[in-house]
Amino acid sequence: QNQWFMNALPIIETIEKHGYQAFFVGGCVRDLLSGRPIGDIDITTSAKPEVIQELFDKVIPVGIEHGTVIVRYNQVSYEVTTFRSEGEYSDNRHPDEVTFIDELDKDLERRDFTINALAMNKDGEIIDLFGGQEDIQQKIIRTVGNASERFKEDALRMIRALRFSSQLGFRIHSNTLKQMTTLRSDIQHLAVERIEKECAKLFAGDYVSYGVNYLEQTEIYRYLPVFSKYPILIEKVNPDLNPLLSFGECIAYFHLLLPDVTVKEWIKSWKCSNQLLREANEIVTAYHQYNNIGLDNWLVYNLETDFYEGFVRVSNLMGNNRKVSLDNLFKLQNELPIQSRKMLAINGNDLVALFPDAKKGPWLQKLLRDIEKAVVYREVPNSKQEIKEWIRCNPPVIN
């Protein structure tokens, strides 16, 4: 674990050598002190982004206006952010201005929670102005400063509190929690994309039931897309929820809990990508097939390998008596006669040639699909000759 910090040490040393300050900060220090695996290393510094660009060979200016650049060093990315203090917030979303400063204190003061407001210098000494170490020890999430003010500045912090609770298994401090309940409706003004990022982490957390309990208790869910329209949904969520590692899995699961809300509606309301749409749809389709017919060749053939784990997690959450195991899926997949349509011994052109008088139409796709299915189920061997014979016995309806 310390290796992560050792690898980053030269960055801090280089910055200091040029007369600026630099510290490890935020999540990595929190994770180090709580014995969790480190996700990534963030560095905070008194040097302005332009200086950092001068000091290192590979610098990606990802958010210069906010003072953030990525330094690539030995194939690893480090987020390096200039000390800043945030000005007034007039929209519960973004600070009106970002001011660069040259002291660490103010930078730590603008951070959301005490456990995230820790810094560490190159010698491993911790800078803890708000009792973050004690809160880690006590497993408490507490805002830096006045909870009400901090949530009014940025309502996303309320959802972040839930997500850290879910990731770390920490309780939310009573006053912080009280203000979340009071101010929850401010969440509706946030950009959905920001909410989605935090919620995805919430449902993926090792202690997801903590987060979901708070979501229910504070009634924050009433201000989340879809949940606001279908409040009954939260009651259907399994109280022993296991982590769902991608938001596509979450959507599949929630849709299966409440089929009234289509996957499409979820994707639209949460402004999710097409990738998540595909993932949710594939998991839902596989689940229905599993539920109706069971685990078989056709199911594993159609499900993208990347979604196997998600399918297993969602299926097992749906409280079926039969548990699905990943091993079974892979075993079935390995024994498939073909892995994809490309491996089929016959193609669209062959079929067109077989029916020279027929016009191209939907029948062609349907026939290909039927052949695929017959081959996958081993009703016919994957050879051109045998498939042609099969077609003679199962002639397509041409339309």
Give the residues lining the site for Mg ion (CB under 5 A).
27
CB count within 10 Å of CB 125 equals 10
Check whether 30 is labelled as a binding-site residue: yes
Q: Which partner from the list ligand ATP, Mg ion, none does 116 bind, CB cut-off 5 to 8 Å by kind?
A: ligand ATP
Query: What crossing angle do the helices spanning 174-183 and 156-168 adopt, rounded to 10°?
Result: 140
Check whether 211 is labelled as a binding-site residue: no
Residue 310 binds ligand ATP, judged by CB under 6 A: no
Residue 116 binds ligand ATP, judged by CB under 6 A: yes
Residue 27 binds ligand ATP, judged by CB under 6 A: yes
Closer by beta carbon to Mg ion, 79 or else 186: 79
Check whether 36 is labelled as a binding-site residue: no
Distance between CA atoms of residues 191 and 197, nearest Å: 11
Q: Which partner from the list Mg ion, ligand ATP, none does 157 bind, CB cut-off 5 to 8 Å by kind?
A: ligand ATP
Q: Binding string to ligand ATP for residues 29 to 68, with x set by CB under 6 A, is what?
A: ----------x--x--------------------------
Distance between CA atoms of residues 109 and 297, nearest Å: 57
SS3 185: helix
Residue 157 binds ligand ATP, judged by CB under 6 A: yes
Maximal C-alpha separation, the chain: 83
**C-alpha 286: how far from chain center:** 21
CB of 111 to ligand ATP, least distance (A): 4
Distance between CA atoms of residues 284 and 381, nearest Å: 29
Say how many residues touch ligand ATP, by CB under 6 A. 10
Closer by beta carbon to ligand ATP, 11 or else 300: 11
Residue 26 binds ligand ATP, judged by CB under 6 A: yes
Q: Which partner from the list ligand ATP, Mg ion, none does 142 bind, CB cut-off 5 to 8 Å by kind?
A: none
Check whether 248 is labelled as a binding-site residue: no
Check whether 42 is labelled as a binding-site residue: yes
Contacts 24+ apart (CB under 8 A), 343-347: 343/382, 344/368, 344/371, 344/372, 344/375, 344/382, 345/382, 345/383, 345/384, 345/387, 346/371, 346/384, 346/387, 346/388
CB of 315 to ligand ATP, least distance (A): 27
Check whether 27 is labelled as a binding-site residue: yes
CB of 4 to ligand ATP, least distance (A): 12
Which residue from 381, 349, 385, 340 is spatially nearest to 367, judged by alpha carbons?
Answer: 349
- Interacting residues of 386 by C-beta distance below 8 A, sequence separation 6+: 380
CB of 138 to ligand ATP, least distance (A): 18
Distance between CA atoms of residues 20 and 202, nearest Å: 36
Residue 173 binds ligand ATP, judged by CB under 6 A: no
Check whether 154 is labelled as a binding-site residue: yes
Query: Tokens 């920490």 appear where?
Result: 170
Q: Among 112, 128, 135, 186, which residue interacts with ligand ATP (rule: CB under 6 A)?
A: 112
What kind and span of H or E run contains 151? helix 147-153
Distance between CA atoms of residues 294 and 296, nearest Å: 6
Closer by beta carbon to ligand ATP, 156 or else 267: 156
Query: Tokens 């994707």 appear where?
Result: 267
Q: Tell me the binding residues for CTP.
A: 27, 30, 111, 154, 157, 160, 163
Binding site for ligand ATP (CB under 6 A): 26-27, 39, 42, 111-112, 116, 154, 156-157
Q: Tell me the binding residues for Mg(2+).
A: 40, 42
